[in-house]
Homo-oligomer: A and B are copies of this chain.
Amino acid sequence: MSSTFGQSLKLSIFGQSHGAAIGMTLDGIPAGLPVDFDRLQAFLNRRAPGQNDYSTPRKEADLPEFPAGIVDGFTCGAPIAALIRNTNTRSGDYSDLRDRPRPGHADYTAAVKYGGFQDVAGGGHFSGRLTAPLCIAGGLCLQWLEKQGISVFAHILQIGSVRDQAFDPLNPDPERIHTPFPVLDPEKGAAMQAEISTARSDGDSIGGIVECAITGLPVGLGDPMFDGVENRIASIVFGIPAVKGVDFGSGFDAACLRGSQNNDGYLMKDGKVSLLSNHAGGILGGISNGAPVIFRSAIKPTPSISRTQHTVSLSKGTDCTLNVQGRHDPCIVPRAVPVVEAAAALAVFDLCLGSHHI
């Protein structure tokens, strides 16, 4: 395994950055679900590079074909397949990349694991480009979840030292997210963009945090222990390259809290059980409690920087230095926002399919 996710649905992602095509198959999807291709494309465009000042100037339109699984705009019950042709296919001599692993990338681990047979061009299968098929699958799930009243949306919570407001945990509002730079507070957004610009000027990069909310989940989704909502979301979100941490509700801040502060009391509201606060991030015992699911993903700074770095020659067994060429995102966080949404939507749709509650 490796690039396969899901229990009731089965997502399988393939492709290398500079291969002929990247894509995915998505099995286990019920028949009769409508597909809004325009909306999916708009979603994919949020991830695509070259759209903004603060991302890489490379332009690649991610225009998927769907050779299977969708007929006349509806899922037909058969596995859905999607394909994006690469215009930027492999060429040139990559022997240098094979010999001198880039710090922070998977070059070295892949070299050992695959014994030198790994595709090194553009990062191969480890490239952030592989999040495009993840967004196709997740973008479809987002559409279908919305029809059940479930919304998934995210914003940039932090870049470098600049921190946006957090969602209101009991009432996160997607309308409050600005575009195209997805923050709640536009002043913070401007400061973040300044931080990215400075990093780029320095030939450097910068990390951040994405906060994601899932609203409209029924109570009772998820299972105890290893199949909880947290486990399922974490197991796919850690599949996004660069994610190094995931926490829910109060998360790491709960370490500093008293039980009397962190417990969420109940009250009746309009004849329904409601919560007085949402430190649990909508999940108790692995099971959704009706409050919004709120989680954060830590995104490390892009490892591709223009500065001279220490590495080794694998063939010679000697120390050496490396200057990574090419134009790279100084900050991957803005483009990671729809990817986190896609991953969360896949986890939740999988949970819904396997549930007797929906």
Binding site for B on A (CB under 8 A): 1-5, 7-10, 12-16, 19-23, 25, 27-28, 30-32, 65-69, 71, 74-81, 83, 101, 103-106, 108-110, 112-119, 124-126, 130, 158-161, 199, 202, 204-209, 219-220, 223-228, 230-232, 234-236, 238-239, 241, 243-268, 271, 273, 276, 279-281, 284-289, 296, 298-305, 307, 309-312, 314, 317-319, 353-354, 356-357
Provide the residues of chain B in CB contact with A21, threshold 8 Å.
67-68, 81
Q: Contact check: which of B8, B224, B239, B307 meets A225 at CB < 8 Å?
A: B239
Give the complex CA separation of A6 and B263 in angstroms.
31
Q: Contact check: which of B15, B71, B251, B271 meets A67 at CB < 8 Å?
A: B15
Given A27-B3, A289-B108, A209 and B255 touching (CB < 8 A)?
yes
Provide the residues of chain B in CB contact with A74, threshold 8 Å.
117
Are B298 and A252 in contact, with the CB atoms below 8 A?
yes
Give the copy number.
4
Provide the residues of chain B in CB contact with A109, threshold 8 Å.
219-220, 284-285, 287-289
Are A226 and B256 in contact, with the CB atoms below 8 A?
no
Are A244 and B251 in contact, with the CB atoms below 8 A?
yes
Provide the residues of chain B in CB contact with A230, threshold 8 Å.
238, 243-244
Give the complex CA separation of A248 and B246 in angstroms.
9
Provide the residues of chain B in CB contact with A244, threshold 8 Å.
230, 247-252, 254, 280-281
Are B238 and A14 in contact, with the CB atoms below 8 A?
no
Provide the residues of chain B in CB contact with A258, threshold 8 Å.
199, 202, 204-206, 301, 305
Are B223 and A273 in contact, with the CB atoms below 8 A?
no
Give the complex CA separation of A283 and B305 in angstroms.
19
Residue in chain B with minimal CB distance to A276:
B310
Provide the residues of chain B in CB contact with A78, threshold 8 Å.
3, 14-16, 118-119, 124-125, 224
Provide the residues of chain B in CB contact with A126, threshold 8 Å.
224, 285
Residue in chain B with minimal CB distance to A249:
B244
Give the complex CA separation of A95 and B228 in angstroms.
26
Q: Contact check: which of B3, B160, B289 meets A255 at CB < 8 Å?
A: B160
Give the complex CA separation of A152 and B284 in angstroms.
28
Give the complex CA separation of A104 and B220 in angstroms.
15
Are B101 and A30 in contact, with the CB atoms below 8 A?
no
Are B20 and A4 in contact, with the CB atoms below 8 A?
no
Are B118 and A76 in contact, with the CB atoms below 8 A?
yes
Give the complex CA separation of A273 and B159 in angstroms.
32
Residue in chain B with minimal CB distance to A123:
B285
Are A204 and B2 in contact, with the CB atoms below 8 A?
no
Provide the residues of chain B in CB contact with A311, threshold 8 Å.
265-266
Give the complex CA separation of A31 and B120 in angstroms.
13
A256 to chain B, nearest CB (A): 6
Residue among A103, A113, A117, A271 with max Cβ neighbours from chain B (10 Å): A113
Give the complex CA separation of A8 and B78 in angstroms.
20
